[in-house]
């Protein structure tokens, strides 16, 4: 060792230290092509190019510089009061910010709330950000998440940083990343559940946030876990759908893959049974096979479904097992999964814990003002444990309410303008953002959904819950194909004008009623929607037998 000015004892220590560093250097080296972060993405792109393909602009952007390394560009633009141009916007979405012009000359910010479960103090923080930096409200999404709208250019990075301050960093909630993980909202409080999914969701959420090489997928990716219980999470509409089942060996998750109902496909059965402790490594292996095999040259065919179409389920599973280095156990004969009741997310329900209840709250199509957000936080804290659980039905639950507090919390919700009573129509009424905030929408879905419910409720008394979903375009954020009545935005000719309307689909379903709805009528004008849907519901009530649900009609 050259003379460094250290005494012999210090030099010995340094030699040992350097030897340790050398030893660790070996363990950090990639074991094979594709295991190092940049290599996996670049190798997949190189293969696409070598096969004669041309990378789409989004792939080029990822190739030039990792979008997570472009935060400073985002903040510099914001400081100049500028919104991003299209490919810059793609990069910004890695940080949770979406430019939503021309529908709104503003950013939208999508949060990341694992399993949809929040604390009251976080909800207050969300309200403060909505008030200071956005439109003064937040929308509950169909991924049990929240979104801000009307964020001025200069406030975009501030929203992201303030969300980080309250533990809700929105990293990867847009672009080609893994979206908010959904899971049973009654986890840990549901008498019927097989497993409390909260620790698994938390572990998976942090694994994703801390695995930089999982932020370079071919396309967006959805993961959902159902632990059983009373509330549907629509897990079969996700790329990875994990459903708890009881086996002789204990509780396992049935693994289904490739759900994408906008492309009319539910997640298909793989026959694999995943032990709870294997959820994170198996999801990780699936994601890495998708990174290696997904299409980089055609955005329309870049989702997992198309990899499964090409490789077959067994071929894909084999590649996952190769990554894991071991076979996945297959399902033996099992009890079927516990299937929740329709609209189990609304109204008052007893918890697993004696004497405690949870209350399903209906929101006006997901929109919550800052006053309502703060009011909900106060009610959850005063009458419950301070826990708020968002659902994929654009609604929420307040949990851990002692029986004596039920009247107080119900009247508190009424004062806030929020509902808690079961409603056969509003309980399953879901609408995407629509053209008030999304450039793709052919119609104002939220307004038309509210008008439809106002029209129907005084005219028909349904004795069974019905799901009505309005979605503004083929992206199908409100999943019109799995609704009893699914409405897809369309332009309708009236005289010399084009007005807003919908294509009408009937008979979709999820869970035990899993089915893709069929198109029964095209181009119903928005102002004719009420009478058309009413006559459909009346005909269904007249024609069905006692036990028939809507999807069998």
* Chain positions contacting ligand SF4, by CB under 6 A: 432-433, 438, 440-441, 471-473, 475-477
184 vs 395, beta carbon nearer ligand SF4: 395
Distances (CA, A) of 324 to 208, 284, 437, 445: 17, 9, 43, 44
Residue 452 CA to residue 496 CA, distance in Å, equals 26
Place of tokens 């050259």: 2
CB of 364 to ligand SF4, least distance (A): 17
Instruction: Quote the DSSP letter at residue 84.
Output: P
CB of 443 to ligand SF4, least distance (A): 8
- Residue 244 parent element (H or E): strand 240-247
Distances (CA, A) of 320 to 226, 239, 244, 287: 22, 14, 20, 9
Place of tokens 């699914």: 486
CB of 94 to ligand SF4, least distance (A): 18
Residue 401 CA to residue 356 CA, distance in Å, equals 5
CB of 387 to ligand SF4, least distance (A): 28
CA angle, residues 532, 534, 538, in degrees to nearest 5: 120
Residue 505 CA to residue 34 CA, distance in Å, equals 44
CB of 537 to ligand SF4, least distance (A): 24
Distances (CA, A) of 545 to 213, 235, 475, 509, 537: 53, 29, 35, 18, 14
Residue 511 CA to residue 272 CA, distance in Å, equals 19
Residue nearest to ligand SF4 (CB): 472
CB of 343 to ligand SF4, least distance (A): 22
359 vs 473, beta carbon nearer ligand SF4: 473
CB of 282 to ligand SF4, least distance (A): 30
CB of 319 to ligand SF4, least distance (A): 31
C-beta atoms surrounding 234 within 10 Å: 24
What is the three-class DSSP state of 98? strand
142 vs 369, beta carbon nearer ligand SF4: 142
Contact 136, 369 (CB under 8 A): yes
**Pairing between β-strand 182-183 and β-strand 223-226 as defined by DSSP bridges:** parallel
Residue 387 CA to residue 353 CA, distance in Å, equals 15
162 vs 491, beta carbon nearer ligand SF4: 491
220 vs 254, beta carbon nearer ligand SF4: 220
Which candidate, 371, 365, 367, places its Cα nearest to that of 469? 365
CB of 344 to ligand SF4, least distance (A): 25
CB of 262 to ligand SF4, least distance (A): 8
201 vs 441, beta carbon nearer ligand SF4: 441
In sequence order, the β-bridge partners of residue 178 are: 221
429 vs 473, beta carbon nearer ligand SF4: 473
User: Helix axis angle, 304-311 relative to 313-324, nearest 10°?
Assistant: 100
Encoded tokens for 43: 């190798």
Contact 316, 308 (CB under 8 A): yes
142 vs 186, beta carbon nearer ligand SF4: 142
369 vs 445, beta carbon nearer ligand SF4: 445
Residue 397 CA to residue 392 CA, distance in Å, equals 11
Contact 240, 217 (CB under 8 A): no
CB of 488 to ligand SF4, least distance (A): 9
């Amino acid at each position: 060792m050259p003379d460094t000015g250290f005494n012999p004892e210090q030099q010995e220590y340094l030699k040992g230290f350097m030897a340790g560093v050398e030893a660790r250097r070996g363990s950090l080296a990639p074991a094979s092509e594709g295991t190092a972060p940049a290599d996996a993405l670049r190798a997949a792109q190189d293969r696409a190019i070598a096969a004669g393909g041309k990378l789409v602009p989004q792939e080029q952007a990822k190739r030039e510089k990792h979008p997570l390394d472009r935060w400073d560009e985002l903040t510099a633009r914001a400081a100049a009061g500028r919104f991003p141009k299209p490919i810059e916007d793609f990069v910004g979405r890695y940080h949770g910010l979406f430019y939503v012009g021309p529908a709104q000359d503003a950013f939208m910010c999508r949060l990341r709330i694992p399993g949809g479960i929040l604390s009251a103090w976080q909800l207050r923080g969300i309200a403060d950000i909505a008030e200071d930096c956005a439109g003064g409200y937040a929308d509950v999404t169909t991924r049990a998440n929240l979104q801000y709208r009307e964020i001025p250019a200069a406030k975009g990075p501030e929203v992201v940083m303030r969300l980080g301050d309250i533990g809700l960093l929105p990293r990867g909630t847009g672009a080609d990343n893994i979206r908010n993980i959904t899971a049973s909202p009654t986890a840990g409080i549901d008498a019927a559940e097989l497993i409390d999914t909260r620790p698994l969701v938390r572990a998976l959420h942090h694994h994703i946030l801390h695995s930089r090489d999982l932020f370079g997928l071919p396309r967006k990716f959805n993961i959902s876990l159902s632990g059983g219980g009373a509330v549907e999470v629509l897990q079969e509409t996700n790329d990875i759908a994990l459903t708890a089942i009881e086996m002789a060996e204990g509780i396992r998750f049935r693994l289904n893959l490739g759900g994408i109902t906008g492309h009319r496909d539910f997640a298909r059965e793989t026959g694999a049974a995943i032990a709870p402790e294997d959820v994170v490594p198996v999801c990780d292996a699936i994601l890495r096979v998708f990174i290696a095999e997904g299409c980089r040259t055609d955005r329309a065919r870049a989702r997992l479904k198309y990899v499964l179409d090409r490789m077959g389920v067994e071929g894909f599973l084999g590649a996952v097992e190769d990554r894991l280095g071991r076979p996945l156990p297959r399902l033996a004969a099992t009890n079927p999964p516990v299937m929740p009741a329709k609209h189990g997310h609304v109204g008052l329900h007893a918890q697993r814990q004696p004497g405690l209840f949870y209350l399903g709250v209906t929101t006006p199509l997901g929109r919550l003002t800052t006053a309502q957000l703060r009011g909900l936080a106060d009610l959850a804290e005063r009458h419950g444990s301070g826990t708020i659980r968002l659902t994929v039905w654009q609604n929420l639950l307040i949990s851990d309410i002692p029986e004596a507090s039920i009247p107080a919390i119900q009247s508190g919700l009424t004062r806030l303008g929020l509902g808690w009573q079961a409603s056969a129509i509003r309980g399953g009424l879901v609408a995407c953002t629509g053209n008030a905030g999304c450039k793709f929408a052919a119609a104002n879905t939220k307004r038309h959904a509210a008008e439809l419910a106002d029209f129907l409720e005084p005219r028909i008394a349904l004795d069974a819950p019905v799901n009505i979903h309005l979605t503004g375009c083929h992206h199908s954020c409100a999943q019109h194909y799995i609704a009893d009545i699914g409405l897809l935005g369309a332009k309708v000719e009236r005289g010399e004008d084009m007005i807003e309307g919908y294509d009408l689909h009937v008979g979709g379903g999820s869970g035990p009623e899993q089915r893709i709805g069929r198109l029964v009528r095209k181009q119903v004008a928005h102002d004719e929607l009420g009478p058309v849907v009413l006559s459909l519901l009346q005909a269904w009530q007249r024609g069905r037998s006692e036990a028939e649900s809507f999807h069998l009609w």
